[in-house]
Amino acid sequence: MEGKKKGDSFIQELEEVLIQVGLRIAKRGEGALFVVGEVEYKLLVDQNVPSFKVCENPKLLESLALMDGAVVINHEGFMTAYGAMIKSTRTFRNFGTRHSAGISASQKKGNLVVIVSEEDKKVRILKEGKMIMQIDALQKDVEKSVSGAVDVLETIGAGTIGAIGTGILVPTLGVALLPGIVVFGSAYYLGKLLHRRLK
């Protein structure tokens, strides 16, 4: 993400907040879509809530995420829109509008997308049109693994996105580095990542 220039700790905090909020929403069997970056959208609701720093108010972020549409967050970590209908480039069979919108939004370089699925209670993280991580909200104590998941996201980094990830529609190799958390990518890359994590 372009925001990395401002410091890795800020990005890690933002990713951790989005994942933790996503897990709470998923456990209740509800869905949400978070887009960090720039994306085309149309507002579905009047914007009565002023912009705020999402890391400082995760409860407000969670309540806005439960509305139809996406929550859009800029690279500085401020909520810029909620109830936003993301322009999808195409629809995907067997996936709802949330996943189609999320896949489309993630294709822009520098964007990070977090999709919370109400159907299977999983949180999916996408970058550059690829799913790079999936977190099972029903895994016991998965919240304890979130900071480790964020470390893995930062280890992956934007420079290696091309070598990792999978199209959300294509089953592929995934490695469970932490309980309830699967990272997707090529066997070679994941083997190296796993080896580094275990040292």
Instruction: Quote the percentage of the chain above a pLDDT of 90.
Output: 49
What's residue 165's pLDDT? Answer: 46
The answer for residues whose C-beta is within 8 angstroms of residue 106's C-beta and 6 or more apart is: 35, 112, 113, 126, 127, 128, 129, 130
Please answer whether residues 164 and 157 qualify as being in contact, where contact means their C-beta atoms are separated by less than 8 angstroms: no
pTM value > 0.85: no
Q: Place 15 in a pLDDT band, splitting at 50, 70 and 90.
A: very high
Give the Cβ contact number of residue 153 at 10 Å: 21
Q: What are the domain boundaries of the chain?
A: 2-198
What's residue 150's pLDDT? Answer: 81
Altogether, the residues listed in the chain come to a count of 199
Give a three-class secondary structure readout of 103-116: HHHHCCCCCEEEEE
DSSP 180: T
| CATH architecture assigned to 2-198 | 3-Layer(aba) Sandwich (3.40)
